[in-house]
Chains A and B, each alone.
Chain A
Amino acid sequence: MSNKRKLNDIFYQFITYISALISVLALSSIFMFVFIKGSSLLDFGLLFNDYHEKYYNGGFNGDIDFSLTPEPDNLEANEFYSSMWGIALKDAKDREGNAIIIVSYISKDSPFSNMYDKNSVDIESSIVIKEGNIVSKISYYDKPTSLTRYGAELMIKDLDTVTDIREVVYTSLGGGIRGSLLTTLFIIGLTLVLALPMGIFTAIYLNEFAKKNKITNLIRSLIETLTGVPSIIYGLMGLAVFVPFTIAITKADSANLISGSMTLAVILLPIIIRSTEESLKVIPDDLRTASLALGANKTQTTFRAVLPSAYPGIVTATLLAVGRIIGESAALIFAIGTAIKDDVSIFGRSTTLSVHIWSLMKDEPANIELASTIALIILIIVLALNILVKLVSKKFITKIV
C-alpha cells in the first residue's frame, strides 16, 4: 500500500518537473532561435538603411578629371584602392548572404563623384557613388566587363588600366528597416496622442466623477468587453470605419498611418483605462477629502492632489501600450496594409516592424534572417519596456506604503 503511494507520488512529481522543464525549454528556445538567427545581421547600418535597393547606371561625358588623391593610410588589407579613380572597394556579403563588392571609400575628387545618369532623359543630370554602395558591374569600351564574381581586387586592377568607362552599374544597399522603424515611431506617437487622453479622461471620469449607478456599470462593462475582442476584428473595424474616415477628411487616398493609429488607439483604450483606474483606486480617499476641505473643487482635487500620485500608474499604462503597439500585427495588416516602404508618410501605407516581419515571411522565399533580426529588435524593446514597468511599479509601491 505504502509502496504504491510512494510510486504514485514519484509519478506525479515527475510529471510536474517534466512540465516545468518543457515550458522553460520550449519558451527559451524561442529566445535562442531569434537570437541565433537574428544576431548575424544586427548592426546599426540596418536601422538606417532603406529596404528597397535603388539601381543606378552611371556614365561619363567627355574628358575625365582623374583623382589625384593618394591612398589613405587607414584602409584595411581587404580594401583595394585605385588612386587614379579615387575609390576603394572590398568584398562583402549582403543580407541574403550573396557575394557583393562594396564601396568602402571614395575620395572627394573621384571621377565617380561626377557622372551622368544613364536612366534619366536629362543629359545634365549627375549622380554620385557613395560609400556603402554596391558595384555590380563596370563595363569598358575595349575590355571585358568587370563583374562582382571576379572580386574587388580584380575590379580595381581593371580600373587602373583604363581611362574611360562605358557604364557603372551600382545599387544602394537594401534590406534595411529604416522605413519600418520610422513608421513604428510615427504610429507610437500618433496612437499615444489619440489613446492616452481619451483613456485617462475616461478612467478619471469613472473613478472620480461618476456616481455609482447602473449607467456607470454599463460603461465599465462595455469597455471591459473590448479586451476580449481579437485584434483582427479591430483590423476589420479600422478597414470599415477609420480608413474611409481618414480618406474623407485628410489627403490620404488609401489605408494610412492615421487610420492604423486610430485602430491601435481603440485596442489600447481598455488597457490604458484599466491601468489608470487601478492606480487611481490605490490613492487613499483621505487625500481627496483633505483637498476638498481646503476649498478645492473636484477638478483641482483631481489634477493637483490625485493625479500626481497616480502618475506611475499612467507611466506603466503608457509603457504597456507602447509594447502592444510594437507587437501588434493582425490589426495593422488591415488598417495600414503590408507594403514595405522607405519613404514614409502618415497619409500613406507602410509597415511597422511587426508587419514587416509578416511581409517578409509571406514572401517567396521567406527571408527568415532579416525577419529574425527585426524580431530580435522587437524582443529587446519589449523586454526593456517590461523591465521599466517593473521598476516604475516598484517605486510606486514603496512610495504609497
Chain B
Amino acid sequence: MEKTLECFKRILGKSKKENIDILIRGIFGISALISASVIIIIIIFITIKGVTPFISYNQGLGQVNIFRFLTGRVWLDGAAFSSSLYGVGFIIINTVYIALLSLMISMPIGVLTALFIAKVAPQRLSIFLRTVVELLSAIPSIVYGLFGSGVILVLVYNFAELVGIQSKGGNSVIATVLVLSLMSLPTITAISEVAIRSVGKDIELGSLALGATKTQTNFKVVLASAKSGIFASAILGVGRALGEATAVSLVAGNSKSGPSLGLFDITSTLTSTMLEGLKETTGLDYDIRFSVGIVLMIVILLTNIILNYVKRKVGSVSVK
C-alpha cells in the first residue's frame, strides 16, 4: 500500500524530465529559427546596402540614377569615382550570354555522357565513370579557374593568333564559357545520370518490343522520359554558371564597357565585376557592389523562374 502511495506521488508530481524536454525543445527550436532567418538577414542587409547609392548623395559624389545604372554600357572606366560612371546593363547581358553559351556546350556533352554511363557503358566502366564524375564535382571552382588560366587561356590565345585575331592574353568570352562549361559538366552529368537511370525498365522494353533499336530507344524514349530530371540539371548548371566568381575573374579579362558578344573579346560578368578593383571599404565604390549583388540575385531568380516555366511546359508533354 505504501508503495502504491509513493507511486502516486511520483506520477502526479511535476517531472524534471518533462521540463528538460521543454528546455531542449526551446534551444533546438531557436537554432532552427536562426537558421531559417539567415536568408532573411542576407536579403535585408544586402538590400539596405545596395539601395544606398540610389537614394543618398554618396558623400558628395551624387545620387546614382537607377535607370542609367541598369542600362549603362560603361563601368568605371577610369580612376576617379563618380556616380554617373556605374552601369551594369552590358554586364547583365554578358553574364546571361556567357551562362547560356556555356550551357549550350555542357548540356549536350553532359547529358550524352550521362546516357553513356547509365545505358551504354559496360557495368564496370560505368561504375568507374560515375565515381570519376562524383569526384570531379567536388573539385573547388578555384581549381577550374587555375586550369582555365594555365591551359585554356593559352589555347585560346594560340588559336586566336592562328586565325589572325589579337586576343588579350586569351582572356575572352570563349575562355570564360569553356571554364564554366567544364565546371558545370560534372553537376549536369551526375544529375542527368540519376534521372536517366530511374527511367522505368518497362518503358524501355515497350519501345524495344515495337522493333526500335537500342539506340533509338535511348534517344527517343529514355531521354524523353528523363526530361524533367535533365532539365533540373540544366537549372542547377545555369545557377552555378551565373553565380561563379573566382574562376571567371581569372579568365574574363574584366572589360569596362560592352556588351562583349564577339567570342574573342574580353568580357566581364556581374560576379567578376564585384570582385574586381574593390579598393574602398566605405562609400559609393563599396556600396555599389551590393547593388550589383542585388542585380545578380534578381538575374538568377528570373532565370530560374523562366527555366522552371519552360520545364513545366516541356515536362507536360513528357511520355511519363
Can you sample 7 A-B contacts with CB below 8 Å? A26-B185, A27-B136, A198-B35, A222-B40, A232-B296, A327-B140, A357-B146
For residue A290, CB closer than 8 A to chain B, the reply is no
Asked if A228 and B42 sit within 8 Å, CB to CB, the answer is no
Given A16-B120, A201-B31, A240-B49, 7 new contacts (CB under 8 A): A26-B182, A28-B132, A30-B143, A202-B35, A219-B32, A232-B296, A378-B140
Known: A298-B24, A330-B271. Contact between A368 and B149, CB under 8 A? Answer: yes
Q: Which of A92-115 contact B (CB under 8 A)?
A: none
B221-259 interface mask toward A, CB cutoff 8 Å, 1 = contact, 0 = none? 000000000000000000100111110011000000000
B135 touches A205 (CB 8 A): no
- Return the contact of B110 from the options A23, A225, A226, A383 (Cβ within 8 A): A23
Per the 8 Å Cβ criterion, residues 10-34 of A in contact with B are 12-13, 15-17, 19-20, 22-24, 26-30, 33-34
In the complex, A135 has a CB within 8 A of chain B:
no
Chain B contact residues: over half helix, strand or loop, or mixed?
helix
The CA-CA distance from A300 to B189 in the complex, in Å, is: 43
* Complex-state Cα separation, A330 to B274, whole angstroms: 10
Which A residues lie within 8 Å of B149 (CB)? 361, 366, 368
Please tell me if B21 contacts chain A, counting CB pairs below 8 Å. yes
Residue of B nearest to A358 (CB): B246
A329 touches B213 (CB 8 A): no
Task: Say yes or no for A163: interface residue by CB 8 A criterion.
Answer: no
Q: How many residues of A contact B (CB 8 A)?
A: 81
Which chain A residues border B135 with CB–CB below 8 Å?
383, 386
- B28: nearest residue on chain A (CB-CB)? A205
Choose among B38, B109, B215, B250 the residue that contacts A13 (Cβ–Cβ < 8 A). Answer: B215
Task: Provide the bound-state CA to CA distance between A102 and B219, in Å.
Answer: 64
Q: Report whether B243 and A206 are in contact in the complex, using a CB–CB cutoff of 8 Å.
A: no
Find chain B residues with CB under 8 A from A228 CB. Answer: 239, 300, 304
A358–B250 touching, CB < 8 Å: yes
Q: State whether the Cβ of B33 lies closer than 8 Å to any Cβ in chain A.
A: yes
Most A CB contacts (10 A, CB to CB) among B20, B38, B189, B239 go to B38
Given the interface contacts A330-B271, A333-B275, does A233 sit within 8 Å of B293 by beta carbon?
Answer: yes
Cβ-defined partner of A12 (8 Å) among B17, B39, B142, B215: B215
Are A330 and B246 in contact, with the CB atoms below 8 A?
yes
A329 close to B36 (CB less than 8 A) = no
**A33 vs B249: C-alpha distance in the bound complex, in angstroms?**
20
Say if the beta carbon of A42 comes within 8 Å of chain B: no
Closest Cβ–Cβ distance, residue B292 to chain A (whole Å): 9
The proximity string for A residues 203-238 relative to B, scoring 1 for CB distances below 8 Å and 0 otherwise, is 011100110000000110011011011111111110
Which residues 126-162 of B have a CB within 8 angstroms of A? 129, 132-136, 138-147, 149-151
Rounded to whole Å, the gap between the CB of A187 and the closest CB of chain B is 14
B116 within 8 A of A: yes
Known: A17-B116, A33-B150, A330-B245. A198 touches B290 (CB 8 A): no
Instruction: Give A29-46 as 1s and 0s: 1 = Cβ < 8 Å from B's Cβ atoms.
Output: 110011001000000000
Q: B108 an interface residue at 8 Å Cβ cutoff? A: yes
Interface presence of B216 (CB below 8 A)? yes
* Shortest beta-carbon distance from B130 to chain A in Å: 12
Q: Do A299 and B139 have beta carbons less than 8 Å apart? A: no
Q: Is the CB of B293 within 8 A of A232?
A: yes
Whether the Cβ atoms of B39 and A361 lie closer than 8 Å is no
CA–CA, A219 to B300, complex, Å? 22
Q: Which residues of B contact A297 (CB under 8 A)?
A: 17-18, 20-21
Query: Is the CB–CB distance between A16 and B115 below 8 Å?
Result: yes
B113 at the interface (CB under 8 A from A): yes
Residues B261-286 near A (CB distance < 8 A): 271, 274-275, 278
Bound-complex Cα distance A206 to B29 (A): 8
Residue contact B142 to A354, C-beta cutoff 8 Å: yes
Q: Give the distance in Å from the alpha carbon of A358 to the alpha carbon of B20 in the complex.
A: 49
Q: Which single residue of chain B is at the shortest CB-CB distance from A369?
A: B150
A58 to B290, CA, bound (A): 50
Q: A19 contacts which chain B residues (CB < 8 A)?
A: 108-110, 112-113, 116
The answer to the question of A305 belonging to the interface, with a C-beta cut-off of 8 Å to chain B, is: no
Closest residue of A by beta carbon distance from B125: A20
A230 and B300 form a contact (CB under 8 A): yes
Q: 1/0 per position for B26-48, CB-CB distance to A under 8 A?
A: 01110111111111111001101
Please tell me if A382 contacts chain B, counting CB pairs below 8 Å.
yes
Chain A to chain B: the 7 pairs with minimum beta-carbon distance, closest first = A230-B243, A327-B140, A19-B112, A201-B31, A330-B245, A205-B28, A20-B116
Q: Which residues of B contact A327 (CB under 8 A)?
A: 138-143
A204 with B28: in contact, given A19-B116, A329-B140 (CB under 8 Å)? yes
Closest to A296 in B: B17
Chain B residue at minimum C-beta to C-beta distance from A360:
B146
Which residue on chain A has the smallest CB distance to residue B31?
A: A201
- With CB as the reference atom, state the residue of chain B lying closest to A333: B275
Instruction: Report whether B36 and A368 are in contact in the complex, using a CB–CB cutoff of 8 Å.
Output: no
User: Of B150, B219, B275, which is in contact with the most chain A CB atoms at under 10 Å from its CB?
Assistant: B150
Among B34, B48, B143, B274, the one with the most A-chain Cβ atoms within 10 Å of its Cβ is B143
**Residue from B18, B35, B108, B297 within 8 A of A199 (CB atoms):** B35
Q: A24-B129, A333-B246 are in contact. Are A236 and B138 (CB under 8 A)?
A: no
Contacts of B117 in A (CB 8 A): 20
Q: Does A372 contact B (CB under 8 A)?
A: yes
Instruction: Return B239 CB to nearest CB of chain A, in Å.
Output: 6
Q: Name the residue on B nearest A295 (C-beta).
A: B17
How far does the alpha carbon of A395 sit from the alpha carbon of B215 in the complex, in Å? Answer: 38
Q: Any chain B CB within 8 A of the CB of A9?
A: yes
> CB within 8 A of B147: which of A9, A22, A33, A386?
A33
**B186 on the interface (CB 8 Å rule)?**
yes
Task: Judge if A173 is at the interface, Cβ distance under 8 Å.
Answer: no
Q: Which residues of B contact A354 (CB under 8 A)?
A: 140, 142, 246
Are the C-beta atoms of B274 and A27 separated by less than 8 Å?
A: no
**A210 shortest CB reach to chain B, Å:** 7
B320 cross-chain contacts in A, Cβ below 8 A: none
CA distance A210 to B29 in the complex (A): 8
Any chain B CB within 8 A of the CB of A371?
yes
Q: Are B215 and A9 in contact (CB under 8 A)?
A: yes
Q: CA of A23 to CA of B115 in the docked complex: distance in angstroms? A: 12
Report B-chain residues with C-beta under 8 Å of the C-beta of A330: 141, 244-246, 271, 275
Q: List CB contacts (< 8 Å) of A325-376 with chain B.
A: 326-330, 333-334, 354, 357-358, 361-362, 366, 368, 371-372, 375
A contact residues around B290 at 8 Å (CB) = 236, 240
The answer to whether residues A329 and B246 also contact, given A222-B36, A240-B45, A297-B17 and a CB cut-off of 8 A, is: yes
